[in-house]
Amino acid sequence: MAEHRTTLDPDDWAALRAQGHRMLDDMFDYLEHLRERPVWQQAPAEVRASLRAPLPRAGSDIADLHRAFMEDMLPYAVGNAHPCFFGWVHGGGTPVGMLAEMLAAGLNANVGGRDQIPVEVERQVARWMAELFRFPDTASGVFVTGTSMANMIAVLVARRRALGAEVRDAGLAAMGQGLVAYTSAAAHDCIAQAMDLTGIGRAALRLIPVDADFRMDTQALEQAIAADVQSGLRPFFVAATAGTVDTAAIDPLGRVAEIAHANGLWFHVDGAFGAMAMLSPALAPLLAGIEHADSIAFDFHKWAQVPYDAGFVLVRDGELHRQTFAATPRYLKREPRGMAGGSPWPCDFGPDLSRSFRALKAWFTLRAYGTDRMGEAIAGTCALARYLEGEVGKRPAFELLAPVCLNIVCFRHLAPEGDLDDFNAALVADLQEAGIAAPSLTTLRGKVAIRVAIVNHRSERRDIDAMLEGLERLAERRLRSTHEKTGV
């Protein structure tokens, strides 16, 4: 019988090493020359078709796969590394983060637990975050995929506090009647999703109206809590937002904290991107009150530029956080010595058991750049937003649709005829398809807005100018073609 060939390591390490260096060079070239590329281009049908193939039984040469990546994948990503990408809220990544990802992948650590330094690196990042947000030493923190998961973990810890340890066995059906939670109408939908996924239900989330600046109306919050208590319900959780997804508005965190704590509610902050404004001494005062949070959810992969994915949840009461998730089945028993030591483990603070070494790319990014420089990059995107606000104000064809608080500018083109919502949606699609710049869309008080979220450390004034020029040119072209069609 022939011997099985089991190893997946190369026969020729020198050849693989040379191939690896070519791959690394290609990615450095990509990052160095990003601005020369279109922000985005749709993948042609042939490229999509080229991916379709039966399950590969035989192997391929890595050089061929590398070529397939360079030709058929790299040009057709969404483009968030590009300085003219302004859509949604995406981080740009850094070359340092890329290198750290390579090291982490090579080590292939499973950071669910056990006695190993990667767990210690994650704990150190958690200590840094506790320091940044002025949380006590007893706070806990873990990496997760993103803020959606981090928000859900916060809801679960708050549920554990409201209902006690029994809820983990008995479940909500037995004891969770009447739980209600609060967030603003401008909050990210993942807060409602967290209610759904935790079994509390979307209907138990009150969407508190916002003021003229899109901030939670705290008087309405107080009234809603009082009304629910009056009806015999059990308010348990309030999520304020530091940097809303539409306009980057910051809820009055200090006031929400007071109301939450006066009523015995858990005070959570969704700071997906906005929480990282703490890294800038000039912006940090805007987040006053965040230090009173019971938990904060945020992403390293947005404003902190760490490559995807790197969400994080920080919980003031680390012991309660542990009690929400910890379980020790026989195969995960902790021991006083050997590799099964070093408890508690990251898997005791969330639903994931096997976990990647996300902490390394965050540790590298924080150490390599230092928080001063990261804060400067963040403040720089806010300065660009103010620049864009000014440029929009100078152009009568444009109208600002929301105050500019941090790094997001919402405006629209005032086309002289036709439906403004349709016109602006078409204009943004024109701009994206032209590969010039990539803002996204949202709707504010019933009006479709061009939404420019400046998150990328690579963006400069010339990129904002290119976007504005593109919008003006494409709007003119669009208006001209309507005239030609209608013969006006």
Ligand X SMILES: *Cc1c(COP(=O)(O)O)cnc(C)c1O
Q: Is 463 one of the binding residues for ligand X (CB under 6 A)?
A: no
Among 190, 378, 156, CA closest to 270: 190
Query: In the set 311, 318, 344, 439, which binds ligand X (CB under 6 A)?
Result: 311
- Closer by beta carbon to ligand X, 51 or else 77: 77
279: Cα separation from own chain's centroid: 16
Distance CA 367, CA 387 (A): 30
Q: Judged by CB, which is closer to ligand X: 193, or 323? A: 193
**Radius of gyration, CA atoms only, the chain:** 25
Shortest separation between residue 237's beta carbon and ligand X, angstroms:
16
CB of 39 to ligand X, least distance (A): 19
Structure tokens at 240: 């304020």
Return the number of the residue (186 or 221) whose C-beta is nearest ligand X.
186
Start-to-end CA span in the chain (Å): 83
CB of 245 to ligand X, least distance (A): 4
CB atoms within 10 A of CB 393: 12
Near ligand X by CB under 6 A: residue from 217, 251, 270, 294 = 270
DSSP H helices, 76-188, are: 95-107, 117-132, 147-163, 167-175
As a whole number of angstroms, the distance between CA 130 and CA 133 comes to 5
- Tell me which residue has its CB nearest to ligand X: 146
- Find the binder of ligand X among 294, 299, 348, 463 (CB under 6 A): 299
C-beta closer to ligand X: residue 148 or 371: 148
| Upstream peptide bond of 309 is cis (omega within 30 degrees of 0) | yes
The greatest distance separating any two alpha carbons of the chain, rounded to the nearest whole angstrom, comes to 84
Specify the pairing of strand 311-315 against strand 140-144: antiparallel
Q: Which amino acid is at 316?
A: R
> Shortest Cβ distance from residue 88 to ligand X (Å)?
7
Residue (270 or 317) nearer to ligand X, CB: 270
What's the min distance (Å) between Cβ of 298 and ligand X?
Answer: 9
Q: Closer to ligand X at the Cβ: 378 or 468?
A: 378
> Shortest approach of ligand X to residue 446 CB, angstroms?
21
Among 156, 180, 272, 296, binds ligand X (CB under 6 A): 272
Residues β-bridged to residue 181 = 205, 237
Q: Map tokens 């070093």 to a residue.
A: 342
User: Least Å distance between CB 408 and ligand X?
Assistant: 10
Q: Which is nearer to ligand X, 176 or 243 (CB)?
A: 243
Site string for ligand X, 176-215 (x = CB under 6 A): ------------x-x-------------------------
Distance CA 306, CA 374 (A): 11
Q: In what order do the strands lie in the sheet with 234-241?
A: 140-144, 311-315, 295-299, 266-270, 234-241, 179-184, 205-208
CA-CA distance, 163 to 375, in Å (whole number)?
39
The residue among 34, 83, 78, 32 whose CA lies nearest residue 464 is: 83
Taking the least distance from each CB to ligand X, the nearer of 89 and 347 is 89
Distance of alpha carbon 3 from alpha carbon 400, whole angstroms? 71
CB of 199 to ligand X, least distance (A): 20
- Within residues 429-448, the interface with ligand X by CB under 6 A covers none
CB of 9 to ligand X, least distance (A): 35
**Closest to ligand X by CB, 188 or 457:** 188
Instruction: Compute how many residues bind ligand X; rule: CB under 6 A.
Output: 15
List binders of ligand X among 118-147 (CB under 6 A): 146-147
| Closer CB to ligand X, 244 or 280, in the complex | 244
Q: Least distance from C-beta 379 to ligand X, angstroms?
A: 18
Give 119's contacts (C-beta < 8 A, 6+ positions apart): 111, 113, 342, 345, 346
* Of 270 and 463, CB closest to ligand X: 270
In this chain, which of 80, 94, 140, 148 binds ligand X, going by CB under 6 A? 148
Site string for ligand X, 224-253 (x = CB under 6 A): -----------------x-xxx--------
Quick one: which of 380, 365, 363 has its CA closest to 457?
380
Residue whose pair of structure tokens reads 């209600």 in the numeric block: 180
* Smaller CB separation from ligand X, 154 or 167: 154
Task: Identify whether the C-beta of residue 133 lies closer than 8 Å to the C-beta of residue 290.
Answer: yes
d(CA 304, CA 457): 9
Q: At closest approach, how far in Å is the CB of 260 from ligand X? A: 18
89 belongs to the binding site for ligand X (CB under 6 A): yes
Shortest distance, CB of residue 302 to ligand X, whole angstroms? 6
Residues at the contact surface with ligand X, assessed by CB under 6 A: 89, 146-148, 188, 190, 241, 243-245, 270, 272-273, 299, 311
